[in-house]
Amino acid sequence: MKKSSTILQLTPPQVLVLGFAAIIMIGTFLLSLPLASKDGLPTPFIDALFTATSATCVTGLVVVDTGTHFTMFGQIIIVILIQIGGLGFMSMSTLFALVLRKRITLRERLVLQEALNQGSMEGIVRLFRKVLVYSLIIEAIAAVLFTIRWSFDLDFQTALFFGIWHAISFFNNAGFDLFGSITGPFSSLTAYADDFMTNVIAMALIVLGGIGFVVLSDLLEYKNKKKLSLHSKVVLSMTAFLIIFGAIVIFIFEYTNTKTLGSINFGGKVLASFFQSVSPRTAGANSLDIGGLRQATQFFIIILMFIGASPGSTGGGIKTTTFTVLVGAMLAMIRGKEDIVFFRFRLAKDRIFKAITLTMLALFLVILVAMLLSTTESAPFLTILFEVTSAFGTVGLSMGLTPELTMIGKILISITMFAGRLGPITLAYALQPKKEKELYKYPEGKITIG
């Protein structure tokens, strides 16, 4: 009875943290089995833990190549972890409850609200049903299209497995791929850098998975409602801006680089630039050699990865809405305005404080882990910063450091992926002691800023 009451006292953020940790440990156990590796030997615990964390947190950073190291059993375990991690473990438990026709309790609705990053509990189960249906339909269509395209290069059975597997991986912004078994370890989609169909399907999956389920629902219901919410307008406009601006920057910086765009025709250059701009939305697949990019491009991608996807999506980062609020606050201050206004709507002060808090927590985490890794790993600082930001943003892009990480490095990156998937604020709420009401307020003081 005492144990049951202890569980009931857990806050929604604490339930999320413990739930994700439990999924990761189960995945670690299954991936460490000899059955999961092609050499028939148990995968070292730290490598299995890193892979399970990366899959559950839909990151895509890997210490062993997924296509060449793991058997079909191991690859299926990884893609299941990706699906659970992308939709959220609470979403999966809600699915089982709905299938068994069980009543969704108030507590479960609260946790589901936290998992889907919603401000209200109203209509949360209905939203979840939409999330599930949209996800399965989008993944199914993409799987069919991928299978058709890759059946020209692979036998049908392999093309079908690859199609389903990569549709799930890309829609959930995981960045895992199996092409190491075809084009060499850690090669990702580099062999398809100028392939139109593969790039367009992958980019569509990444964007649809990254804009968030609320925005998807808004778009699909636009025909009836004839309007979009403020949230959807902000997400769509900032996502479009970051993708287009990112593609232009990458195209300009890499145009003459023979290691990346230099050896591709003009159409291929445009396609690869857009793909590499979309991927830092937290997808992690790459059609260009990340290590071969110029330093300016690598640093620019770090910024894109830090911003990440949108709230209520399968992606990480500080989120596009947070970045928009920060930019809005800066412009309002420069113009001498008191309010931040988007699309004729004024933002509440608590939204601004939350955006600043989230960004500062994220910066502290990235800087701290980068400093620690600088002492444990023998790699240039930009490479380390790229890896840490990729882990925090649950992106999965790498300049080649991940397979070379020391044990301490793997643990630090695993913690960063975990924090990035749950979000710094959720993690902080989960770890903080129970709130106590303040009985008094201190007098207001003034300090000079700037």
CA distance 82 to 84: 6
Question: How deeply is 89 buried, as exposed, middle or buried, from its count of CB atoms within 10 A (0-12, 13-18, 19+)?
Answer: buried
Residue 205 has pLDDT above 90, yes or no: yes
Mean pLDDT of the chain: 85
Tell me the backbone φ, ψ of residue 227, rounded to 5 degrees. Answer: -155, 155
* Per-residue pLDDT at 113: 59
* Per-residue pLDDT at 106: 59
C-alpha dist (Å) from residue 188 to 67, 132, 176, 206: 10, 27, 8, 15
Residue 398 has pLDDT above 60, yes or no: yes
Confidence of residue 237 (pLDDT cuts 50, 70, 90): very high
CA distance 366 to 116: 24
Q: What is the dihedral of CA 157, 161, 162, 165, to 10 degrees?
A: 170
Name the amino acid, one letter, at 5. Answer: S
Find the radius of gyration of the CA atoms of the chain.
22
* Per-residue pLDDT at 7: 47
Question: Within 10 A of 73 (CB to CB), how many other CB atoms are there?
Answer: 14
* Per-residue pLDDT at 123: 62
Mean per-residue pLDDT, 291-295: 93
Residue 5 has pLDDT above 50, yes or no: no
Where in the chain are the domains?
10-431
Mean per-residue pLDDT, 357-386: 94
Q: Where is pLDDT greater, at 95 or 280?
A: 280
Least-confidence region, from 89-98, 265-274, 405-414: 89-98
* Per-residue pLDDT at 376: 94
**pTM here?**
0.87
Question: For the segment 158-190, what is each residue's pLDDT rounded down to a tens digit?
Answer: 999 999 999 999 998 888 999 998 988 888 888
Sequential DSSP letters for 315-355 = --SS-HHHHHHHHHHHHHHHHT-SS-EETTEEPPHHHHHHH
Residue 294 has pLDDT above 50, yes or no: yes
Q: State whether residue 212 is helix, strand or coil.
A: coil
Question: For the segment 31-72, what is each residue's pLDDT rounded down to a tens digit?
Answer: 999 999 999 999 999 999 999 999 999 888 999 999 999 999
> The tokens of 299 are what?
């640093």
Confidence of residue 255 (pLDDT cuts 50, 70, 90): very high
Tell me the backbone φ, ψ of residue 321, rounded to 5 degrees. Answer: -65, -40
> The tokens of 421 are what?
């998937």
Residue 15 has pLDDT above 80, yes or no: no
Q: State whether residue 70 is helix, strand or coil.
A: strand
Mean per-residue pLDDT, 212-241: 87
* Per-residue pLDDT at 159: 95
Residue 73 has pLDDT above 90, yes or no: yes
Confidence of residue 118 (pLDDT cuts 50, 70, 90): low
Mean per-residue pLDDT, 310-335: 88
Q: Where is pLDDT greater, at 343 or 16?
A: 343
C-alpha dist (Å) from residue 289 to 17, 190, 275, 304: 34, 7, 12, 17
Helix (H) or strand (E) holding 305: helix 295-307
* Per-residue pLDDT at 2: 45
* Per-residue pLDDT at 350: 85
Q: State whether residue 88 is helix, strand or coil.
A: coil
Segment of 7-21, 89-103, 131-145, 369-383 carrying the highest mean pLDDT: 369-383
> The tokens of 26 are what?
């189960």
Residue 93 has pLDDT above 80, yes or no: no
Using CA of residue 312, residue 313, residue 319, residue 325, what is the dihedral sign? negative
* Per-residue pLDDT at 1: 43
Question: Within 10 A of 11 (CB to CB), how many other CB atoms are there?
Answer: 17
